[in-house]
Amino acid sequence: MFDLATRDIKYLPGVGPQRASVLNKELGIYSLHDLLYYFPYKYVDRSRIYYIQEIDGTMPYIQLKGEILSFETAGEGRQRRLIAHFSDGTGVVDLVWFQGIKYLVGKYKVHQEYIVFGKPTFFNGRINMAHPDIDSASDLKLSSMGLQPYYNTTEKMKRSSLNSHAIEKMMNTALQQLREPLPETLSPAILAGHHLIPLTDALANIHFPANPDVLRKAQYRLKFEELFYVQLNILRYAKDRQRKYRGYIFERVGEVFNTFYSRNLPFELTNAQKRVLKEIRKDVGSGKQMNRLLQGDVGSGKTLVALMSMLMALDNGYQTCMMAPTEILANQHYETIRELLYGMEVRVELLTGSVKGKRREAILAGLLTGDIHILIGTHAVIEDTVNFASLGLAVIDEQHRFGVAQRARLWTKNVQPPHVLVMTATPIPRTLAMTLYGDLDVSVIDELPPGRKPIVTLHQFDSRRISLYQSMHKQITEGRQVYIVYPLIKESEKIDLKNLEEGYLHICEEFPECRVCKVHGKMKPAEKDAQMQLFVSGEAQIMVATTVIEVGVNVPNASVMVIENAERFGLSQLHQLRGRVGRGADQSYCILVTGYKLAEDTRKRLEIMVRTNDGFEIAEADLKLRGPGDLEGTQQSGIAFDLKIADIARDGQLLQYVREVAQTVVDADPHGMLPENEVLWRQLKALRKTNVNWAAIS
C-alpha cells in the first residue's frame, strides 16, 4: 500500500537534498503527504473567456473580453480611485484602481476591445475587479490546462528558485507517482451520505482542477474532512469525560436562592439572564457534570448570574468558589458579592496570595468544616493546601487567563468534579467557541441591564489634541475619571514604554490640577496595585496605562477612555478596553486617536468600532479581518489541529454541519467499537500523533 507519510520528499524526482532542506525549514514539508497537503492559495483560469452575466461572488481569477465604456474618479486624498466601466454586452463590471491613476488615465482607450483578467468581487451590489491585468484583444492565448494553481512561497525559497511554478511541477510529479488510489480517510457511509468525492480525486483536483466545478467539490471534501476530525476529537473527548465523571445533582432551588431573589436582587433580571439561569439550572439537575461557557459583554450582569448559580449549590448543601485572574479583580468580586448578599447568612471569604498567617489558617479550616460557603480568590484557590468539605460549583472568570491544567486541578479537589461555569467578557463567535472550547456548552447574555447608556465611540486624528484635552477637562471638572491607554507590543517594547513615559509627563503638564497615575506590565505587582488603587478609590483622576487594564477592573466613575495609536490594536482588544468605561449611569465616551495615514483594513476596524457596541458583531468582524490565529486572548494555544484549508471565519456553516455529523458518530459508537467506523478512529489516532496541540483541546 502506498504510504505518503513515509515517502521522503528528497527522493521525489526534481527535488534532491538541497531543495528538500529548504522545504523542510520553510514550509515544514518532509514527506509526499506534507507536499500534497500544501494547498494553493488561488487559481487562475486562463482556459476560457467568461461572460459578465455568468459571474458570481465565488469565482477565482477569470478573463473577460469587452470594451471600456467610460472612466470616472471618486473619493478624495488617499481614498481617491479610478473606475472604468467595462462591458461585453451581457452586463457591466467596474474596474477599480487605487494606485498609479495618473499613469493609467491616458493608457487605455474607450471603445477598444481588451482582455481583462482579475478576481471579481461584489461591492455595494456591483461587480468589481481591483487592479486587473488588461491586454489588447489581439494578444489572447487560451491555455488548455484549466485553472492554474498558485502557491505561497517565502523569500528564502525564491532565492533557491523554489517559486510557485516550481512547486506546481513537484505536485505534478508527486501525483504522477500515485499508481493506485490512496486509502480512504473517511468511512464509506460518510462519503456516500454527504456526497464527498474520493480522497485521491480530491487531492488531484485541488492542485490541478479542470474547471471551477471540480475545484469546488475538491475543496468541499477536504474542508469537510478537516473540520470533521477537529469536531470528532473534541466530542469524543467530552463524551469520555461525561462517562468518567458524574455530576452532583442539585435537586432543589431552596431558601437561600429564593430569599436572595425576593429581598436582595438589585434590579429585575433581563430576559437573557433568566434564559441563562434556566440553562444552568437544567445542567446542574441533570446528573451530568456541567461545563458551561458564559459569554456576555462587559456590564451585561454575568457576576449576578454566577452568584445566583452559586446560591443553587448552597441550597443543596455544597460549597462554591470563584476564581479571578488578578488580586484586584478577586477583591472586586468579593466586595460586589458581599454587597449583594447583605443581611443574608452566607459566609463569603477572600483568599489571595497576600492573605497570610492566622487569617489564612482560619480560612483553610473554615473550608474543611464547611462553615465557609463561598470562597473567592486568585489561582491561590487551587493550591494543594486548599481543600473543601464539599465543593459543588466552581466559577472561573476570564477563562483565557486560566490554562487547561488549572481547570483540571479543580477537579481533583473532590471525589467527583464540581460543576464548572466559565465566564468571559471576550465575545467569541460561536464557530470559534465550538472549536476552542468544544467541550463547553455555550450560553450568551446578549442584552444590557436597563438604564445603561451605550458608550459613544469617536475616531479623532492626533492633530486635534486641543479639542480632545478640552473635552477631558470638562469631564474631570464634572467629577469623572479618564483612562489613557498606550499600546505595548513586544517587538517595539522599548519605544512603546518611552511613548508611555512621554505621554505621562505630557498629561501631567496639561492637567496640573489633576493627580495622574500610571500602570504598565513592567512594574512590580505591588507598585502596580498601589497605582491601580489610587484610581479605583478616586484619588487619581487620570490613569495612563498600557493594555494591562483591559480585564475586569470596575471604576463606575470613569467615563472617558482615550486610546492612543488605536490603529495598533485588534478589534477585540479595542472593544475590551472600551468596556472599562460606561459602568455607571453617566454618558461615557471612547476616543480612538490615530494618525492620518491608515491602511484599508485599519480604517475598516475603526469604522466598525464607531458603528457598533455589539461585542459579537465585533468578534465576527475581527475573525474575518484577522483570522482565528490571533484572536485576542482566546487562543494562546491555537486550534488543536492545524487547519490547512478550512477557514473558521468563512466556513462557519460547514463547521456546524460537520459537528452534527461527528455527534451522530460519537452517539452511535461511544466506545469506538463498530467496524464501519474503524477508519475514522484510526485516522483520528494518526492525526493526533502528527499535528495536535493537546493544550488546546483539553
Q: Model confidence over 318-357: pLDDT tens digits?
A: 999 999 887 878 888 898 899 999 999 999 999 988 888 9
CATH class of segment(s) 456-612? alpha beta
| Residue 165: how many other CB atoms lie within 10 Å | 13
Distance CA 589, CA 454 (A): 9
Which amino acid is located at 475 in the chain?
A: Q
563-573 burial string, b = 16+ CB within 10 Å, else e? bbbbbbbbbbb
Which residue type sits at 302?
K
pLDDT of residue 347: 94
Q: Is 408 a residue whose pLDDT tops 80?
A: no
Nearest Cα neighbor of 246 from 283, 291, 289 is 289
**Which of the listed ranges 195-199, 211-215, 399-403, 446-450 does the model predict with the highest average pLDDT?**
195-199
For 201, counting Cβ atoms within 10 Å of its Cβ (0-12 exposed, 13-18 middle, 19+ buried), the class is middle
Give Dmax (Cα) for the chain.
92
* Residue type at 368 in one-letter notation: L
In three-state secondary structure terms, 256 is: helix
Helix (H) or strand (E) holding 396: strand 391-397
pLDDT, position 2: 63
Coil vs helix vs strand at 310: helix
3-class state of residue 561 by DSSP: strand
Confidence of residue 631 (pLDDT cuts 50, 70, 90): very low
- Is the confidence at residue 694, as pLDDT, over 70? no
CB–CB of 328/552 below 8 Å?
yes
Q: Return the SS3 of 636.
A: coil
| 316 has a pLDDT exceeding 90 | yes
Which has the minimum average pLDDT: 259-273, 496-510, 536-550? 536-550
**Could you give the strand order of the β-sheet that contains 589-594, starting from the edge strand earlier in sequence?**
456-461, 589-594, 558-563, 481-485, 542-545, 516-519
CA distances from 176 to 163, 183, 197 (A): 20, 16, 19
Q: Which residues pair with 591 in a beta bridge?
A: 458, 562
Average pLDDT over residues 70-97: 87
With a pLDDT cut of 70, the percent of the chain lying above it is 88
pLDDT tens figures, 664-690? 999 999 888 899 999 998 888 888 766
CATH class of 48-144: mainly beta
Instruction: Tell me the C-alpha to C-alpha distance, in Å, between residue 364 and each of 34, 350, 355.
Output: 54, 11, 11
Considering only residues 572 and 172, tell me which one the structure prediction assigns the higher pLDDT.
Answer: 172
The yes-or-no answer to whether 48-144 and 456-612 have a common fold is no
Distance CA 246, CA 622 (A): 38
Other CB atoms within 10 A of residue 513 CB:
8
pLDDT exceeds 60 at position 159 = yes
**What was the pLDDT predicted at 280?**
94
Residues 112-141: tens digit of each pLDDT? 889 888 888 887 778 888 888 887 877 666
Closest CA to 589 of 497, 484, 519: 484
Report, as an integer, the average pLDDT of 42-61: 80
pLDDT > 50? residue 635? no
Q: Which of 207-221, 300-314, 571-585 has the lowest mean pLDDT?
A: 571-585
What does the pLDDT read at residue 692?
A: 45
Residue with cell 455595494: 124
Q: Which CATH number fits domain 255-445: 3.40.50.970, 3.40.50.300, 3.40.50.410, 3.40.50.720?
A: 3.40.50.300
E-assigned strands of 588-680? 589-594
| Res. 491: pLDDT tops 70 | no
- Flag whether pLDDT at 639 surpasses 50: no
Least confident of 404-408, 454-458, 570-574, 603-607: 404-408
Rg (CA), the chain: 30
Residue for grid cell 487560451: 142
Q: Can you tell me the mean pLDDT for 398-420?
A: 66
Domain boundaries, the chain: 9-44+152-177, 48-144, 255-445, 456-612
How many CB atoms within 10 Å of residue 189?
12
**pLDDT for 47 beyond 80:** no
User: What count of other Cβ atoms lies within 10 Å of the Cβ of residue 581?
Assistant: 26
Question: What's the pLDDT score for residue 642?
Answer: 64
Q: pLDDT at position 405, please? A: 56
pLDDT of residue 411: 63
What is the residue-averaged pLDDT of the chain?
83
Q: Distances from the Cα of 425 to the Cαs of 302, 445, 447, 526, in angstroms?
A: 9, 10, 13, 26
Give the number of other Cβ atoms within 10 Å of residue 532's Cβ.
Answer: 22
Q: What is the pLDDT of residue 85?
A: 92
* Percentage of residues in the chain having pLDDT higher than 90: 31
